[in-house]
Amino acid sequence: MATTDKEVKELIKREYEHGFVTEIEADTFEPGLNEDVIRRLSAIKQEPEFMLEWRLKAYRRWLEMEEPDWAHVGYPKIDYNSISYYSAPKRKEDMPQSLDEVDPELLKTYEKLGIPLHEREKLAGVAVDAVFDSVSVATTFKEPLAKAGVIFCSISEAVRDYPELVQKYLGSVVPAGDNFFAGLNAAAFSDGTFVYVPKGVRCPMELSTYFRINAANTGQFERTLIIADEGSYVSYLEGCTAPMRDENQLHAAVVELVAMDDAQIKYSTVQNWYPGDEEGKGGIFNFVTKRGTCLGRNSKISWTQVETGSAVTWKYPSCILRGDNSVGEFYSVALTNNYQQADTGTKMIHLGKNTSSTIISKGISAGRSSNAYRGLVKFQPGAEGARNFTQCDSLLIGDQCGAHTFPYIESRNKSAIVEHEATTSKVSDEQMFLCRQRGIDPEQAVSMIVNGFCKEVFKELPMEFAVEAGKLLEVSLEGSVG
């Protein structure tokens, strides 16, 4: 194996390819967070009174909260007053009415990222809402979506145009006081995406949001709210990138999903925030609260995530299975390399009868990284006949990394059944030998083996994303074997 290791070690290290900075004039708040900043933010967004009240209440609550320290990650203390809470590309006029009015620099940025922002790329068939630093810059395919009755817009617009829906559901799944980072987000969220799929509508295309942090010293606090009314279906994709900077940047998002009777939401994420350089310098702190509630009978929420970026990830997409027969799913691939740290997993809270959930988590650690799965499966007394299956596998590449599993399983119903399995292994010499013997070079071999390891999760991703995810893994793994 010695020669193999050496060869692999020498493999080219492709750099983070989304690490460019876009030179764009931006309106940026001076760093710091206080009630005035929130008032200004709210005023810029022309928000109704209830929104400002909600933010201020959240802020006051947040001041009394403590930053959680239980996760298996270490990072320098964050000074929340050194971050700017609003940065928007400067525009001469009001919101652009069509893509032609969007700053060409911005469009170029998204082109570089390979996002089908332009409507002429109809083949891609994906409606995109792009969020640049703090604001949503463009939303495509509004018309065909509107025809189907689907509301797909930035959350700022939603607050103005559909206040009754926002007021009813915002914070209903992740309350402002839920946790430290969700509290911060509730007080300072700048933009995000809003989706409403009316009764019986199957959303005609995949919806997608692309997040990018561009400006220095800013944090991104977006908020996504998706409501699927009775019998509807929506598939939503999310991607993220950021420039390479030496200092750490904060990303504290909140995602709320609400599924009514017979509704289905599929939420896929490919997270590729800048992970920091080889020495672990810089990178994004990704502290995200994602939660969905299956309010109605027979509803289903499915989370699929591929986490390859961020210096520190703290993320637990969860499902509250309230409606009878509702289904929660969590498919995750988390890959960490160099000095990345990830503490991610899910929570499945079973409240309704015959609810079921599946958790498939694949952790891959390489370099000096640390990768933890942390999950909770909880059956309340009313969860008659509930069922959970959990499988979390870890793959270690190199002897300097760590892989951890912290599953919490709590059952209070005798008819509920939970099964949990976890294994840890490495890319075995036998597997490598088999591939090499057939003329496959070591890098390809590792990538094949890892892809095979993750297959169960990749097959849940929409096609375009599955391809991207596979590629991302290859890039992130380069130079890690040895």
Partner 1 sequence: MKSAPTLSSAFLKPAGESLPQPLLALRKERGKALVDMPLPTRKTENWKYSSRHLKLSDELANSLPAGGATTDAAAGGYRIVIRNGVVDASTSVLPQVEGLSVQRFADLTDEDAAELARSLDSTLDTRATQMARLNSARFEDGLLIRLKPDTVVDQPLFVIHEVTATAAGSAFPRIYVDAGRHSGMTLVEEFLSSGDESAMVDAVTEFTLADGARITGVRLVAEGQNIQHIGATGVRQLRSSRFESHCVGFGGPLRRHDLRVRLEGEGAECKLNGVVVTQDKQHYDNHTCIDHMVPNCNSEETYRNIAADESHAVFNGRIHIHKDAQKSNANMNNKNLLLSTGAEIDTKPELEIYADDVKCAHGATIGQLDDTSLFYLVSRGIARREASVLLTMAFINELVAQIPVEQVRNSANERLNQFFDDAFREA
Smallest gap from residue 236 Cβ to partner 1 (A)? 32
419 exposure class (CB count in 10 Å sphere: 0-12, 13-18, 19+): exposed
Smallest gap from residue 322 Cβ to partner 1 (A)? 18
Helix extents (H) in 45-135 = 49-63, 104-113
Q: Which is nearer to partner 1, 172 or 431 (CB)?
A: 431
Regarding beta strands 126-132 and 135-139, do their DSSP bridges make them parallel or antiparallel, or are they unpaired?
Answer: antiparallel
Could you say which of 158, 396, 466, 477 contacts partner 1 (CB under 8 A)? 396
Smallest gap from residue 362 Cβ to partner 1 (A)? 14
Interaction between residue 338 and partner 1 (CB under 8 A): no
Smallest gap from residue 372 Cβ to partner 1 (A)? 8
Smallest gap from residue 316 Cβ to partner 1 (A)? 15
Q: Which is nearer to partner 1, 68 or 200 (CB)?
A: 68
What single string gives the DSSP state of each residue in 378-445?
A: EE-TT-TT-EEEEEEEEEEESSS-EEEEEEEEEE--TT-EEEEEEEEEE--HHHHHHHHHTT--HHHH
Structure tokens at 334: 């988390």
Interaction between residue 94 and partner 1 (CB under 8 A): no
Enumerate residues 6+ apart whose C-beta is below 8 A from 248. Answer: 75, 76, 78, 276, 282, 283, 284, 285, 311
Query: Could you tell me how many residues of this chain bind partner 1 (CB under 8 A)?
Result: 36
460 and 270 in contact (C-beta within 8 Å)? no
Question: How far, in Å, CA of 271 to CA of 336, rounded?
Answer: 12
Smallest gap from residue 72 Cβ to partner 1 (A)? 8
Question: How far, in Å, CA of 406 to CA of 421, rounded?
Answer: 12
Interaction between residue 416 and partner 1 (CB under 8 A): yes
Q: Which is nearer to partner 1, 142 or 420 (CB)?
A: 420
Q: Which stretch binds partner 1 (CB under 8 A): 42-50, 116-124, 277-285, 422-430?
A: 422-430
Structure tokens at 138: 């463009």
Smallest gap from residue 172 Cβ to partner 1 (A)? 25
Q: Which is nearer to partner 1, 218 or 394 (CB)?
A: 394
Stretch 366-395 residues interacting with partner 1 (CB under 8 A): 379, 381, 394
Smallest gap from residue 430 Cβ to partner 1 (A)? 13
Q: Which is nearer to partner 1, 282 or 328 (CB)?
A: 328
Residue 168 sits at the vertex; the CA angle it makes with 327 and 300, to the nearest 5 degrees, is 10
Tally the residues of the chain.
482
Could you say which of 48, 96, 177, 402 contacts partner 1 (CB under 8 A)? 402
Interaction between residue 73 and partner 1 (CB under 8 A): no
Interaction between residue 111 and partner 1 (CB under 8 A): no
Interaction between residue 183 and partner 1 (CB under 8 A): no
Ramachandran angles phi, psi of 258, nearest 5° = -130, 120
Interaction between residue 411 and partner 1 (CB under 8 A): yes
Could you say which of 79, 414, 430, 439 contacts partner 1 (CB under 8 A)? 414
Structure tokens at 385: 């006949």
Sign of CA dihedral 42, 45, 49, 54: negative
Smallest gap from residue 186 Cβ to partner 1 (A)? 20
Q: Does residue 115 sit in helix, strand or coil?
A: coil
Q: Please name the residue that has the structure tokens 């403590």.
A: 66
Interaction between residue 401 and partner 1 (CB under 8 A): yes
Question: How far, in Å, CA of 476 to CA of 309, rounded?
Answer: 8
Interaction between residue 67 and partner 1 (CB under 8 A): no
Instruction: Round the CA-based radius of gyration of the chain to a whole number and report it.
Output: 22
Could you say which of 52, 99, 422, 448 contacts partner 1 (CB under 8 A)? 422
Nearest to 216 by CA among 360, 80, 23: 23
Interaction between residue 425 and partner 1 (CB under 8 A): yes
Smallest gap from residue 422 Cβ to partner 1 (A)? 5
- Residues near partner 1 (CB under 8 A) are 64, 70, 379, 381, 394, 396-426
